[in-house]
Structure 1
Amino acid sequence: MATVLFILALSSGYYEILFLMIGFREYVTWRLAVVWVAMIATSQVLSEIGTLLFPNMPLVFLWIIPLVAVNTFMSSRLLYTQWLLMLPVMIFLNAVKRLITAIMGVLAKALLAPNADMLLRQAVKLDKTVDLNMFLAVMLSIPVVIILGGLAHRWLVRVSAADFLQRARVEAGDYLLVMLFFIIYVIAYVFAMEWSVNSQTYMAIAASLTFGIIGSYLINNKNSHLNDAQLLLQVSNYNELLRRHNRDLHLFKHDYQNILLSLSAFIREDNMTGLKHYFEAEVLPASHNLNKQTELAGLNRLAMPTASGLIYAKYETAVRREVQLVVVVLEDVELLDVPQIKVVRILGNLLDNAVDAAARANRHVTLTISNRNKQTAVFTVRNQIPINETLDLSVIKKSRFTTKPGHLGYGLSSIEQLTTDQLMVNYCIEDTDFVAELVVTH
């Protein structure tokens, strides 16, 4: 019985998994969950063996470092991000877990055996009283972790945490800072894990607050720099594309009259051979640029340079892939006080998905931009569903969904992480077409 209780008590090692899988449930798959749980179980077995073989070794090296390492690696796989970005998160979650279990341990100790020390090292000896206390503490902690995970999920979606972690880039200085962060935590728990449960409670409170504040500062600082740098880069790139677009249009208009005059000269001289050669060699190639300018002329009615630049960039990408992207702007559209970077990222993902699908179908994508009312603008992307492919609207938003072999398929789930009360994305299927609608409220 004591062995069973001890094994159940070790389930506290799965709190981080439970919290993350609830918080980022859109990204969880059965395969990843099974592998993750198996790795934690293996880690705990090895930790228990190590505790028996090396009774004088600090418990932090056997019970914290392996769990943090496994959770860091698997959480980075869960969110398609780099492990260094997840290490501060896992340190904080480990500290919070120890705070929760310490509080519940104090409560269990008060209920069952007020005089029991409840040291983790004692549990290795399978002392009945200690095992009962640990088991009760774990049972009391599980509902708390589930509730916190559910609350965290709403916040993580609202702030697009997964999208940030996927976009963030690691710099050289980050390695030193994060590893120093980890070393301090390990040193603190070299001593704390040998203390009584009451003392560990105070240590857990201090660790959770300290490392939570430091971790939040680092993430917010990096997020601010990331968004600023990315926005500036995208605006710069898109403005350059628009500048080229306007320059080409200006040059063509400047030369258009000369082209007409030159054609009239061939006609006056009745030089049909020269006219035919000139028309095929000079006029026809120029007409392609005219068509291009005409198809994108409606972008002048969209008062959002970043979105206009993005659409122009996606138009050029579609041309390279031999896909026709038709842009229809029905009226003047002005977007005020909207998160432009999110609009660009969502619209970019929708257009990328549409062009990918169109390349396997009729090679045609339509983007329609219009006003639903004075406060709402709508971007509608339409493409034909490739033959022999079936879309289920109930699953296309789930993590790793894709119809392309070898593709990770996290575009639509990432879009869901970017949506807010101002930015809503709807999907529908009309006959053989897939329609995605970005609704922007301003």
Structure 2
Amino acid sequence: MNMKINTGKGSISLMTLIAIWSISLTVNLPGLAITPMLGNLDKIFPHTSELEIQLLTVLPNLFIIPFVLLSGRLSLSKSKVGIVVVALAIYLVSGLLYFFARNMIDLIVISCLLGIGCGLLIPLAAGLLADTFVGKYRMRQLGIKSGISNMALVVATFVVGWLNHGNWRLPFLVYLIPAIPLVLSVFLRGIPKADLSPAPATPDPKMKASAKAAAKAVIAGSPAGAIHAAPPASAGGYDQYGYIGKIKGGFILSRTWSLIAVYFFVCYATVIVSYYTPFLMQSEGLDDSDVGTVTAIFFLAVFLPGFILPYIIKTLRQATLVVSSVVMIAGIVLMVVCHRFGLMCMAASLVGFGYGVFQPVIYDKATQIVTDPAKATLALAIVLAANYISISATPFIVDFFRDIFDPHHLNNAFAFEFNAILLAAFTVIVIVLRKSFVFRIDKSYY
């Protein structure tokens, strides 16, 4: 266990890296244990109202969003490891409290507490890796982090389904997983203090084209002290991606909003599968076990690219995100035109695989939208918030356009058909803007 892991600017112990990885086991689990019991809530808790059911499913995600942003803000302090420990403790206590819930109000309140703990934890699961690693080493670790979090979701989904055949409280056992990273958190002290609280950038009057130099350094994966040398107060020059534009509070605004928009859409385009596949398959006469298999294959396909991302990028290089977009749209179109079980499995795997490539790349890009290395976790928090906003907004977006184009709700494939059109337009944008900041795969990645 004394093995040292290269970070691109030094090294950390294997146990420290495992401790950071273990945090990712928890970030995708909120809401999972509740899902199997939604159809039986009226039996478990008689007189349960529709409003209570909606609050149980919506409120936890809504609580995650502000606490993701709060975590990013708190990360500007020097107590990132302390935030992780507190968040894990809140998460674990929430999991234990589920076993004492007596009514729906208890479940709602506990689920909101779970959302708070998870929201505080989510940015730091990626942020600690972004702080510790640079360049291709960071990209590799963010890919593994994405793979671990999605693998945990796949395994937990099967476990919850199995536990659901017994006492209704048993699925909540999955929320005791935070005990693992909480025990391992002692090894987080192995992260160099300079990485947890990098020194703010200091202007250098000798650097005339400072913004250009800073941006190039970021992409090249330079050490923290050299990445953001002399960021301008409001605007910068050009770099290989084009005009840097206005900088406010250490954020390159054009890149920040572009990345948020892309992540919001990519999340929307893929969450359609988990939201609407059950309705589409049931309308075609496929049974619940088939629906569960397709959903599990989707999540399995999401986690796989994380572990092989360096090889994917090395093979596809600049075409990586273009190919990922094409793969996603191919999966959605296949879902629209073919409703046989085998083809639905293939379609779900294509969509999941495309998203599994996009996700860690976007995580890495998020660390490059700031001119101050100390704000990398805050940048991740802001971009990650787009994911949870997208998850919450997707049903409303689909219902809005469905009321316009399919007012009588006769077409069970509407969500997928509409998504295919949007993904086609998105793919064109990716191709046209493939050399822009958001979509370009720089040589330093491979």
TM-score, length-scaled by structure 1: 0.27
Structure with the larger RCO, 1 or 2 (CA within 8 Å, 6+ apart): 2
Greater strand proportion = 1
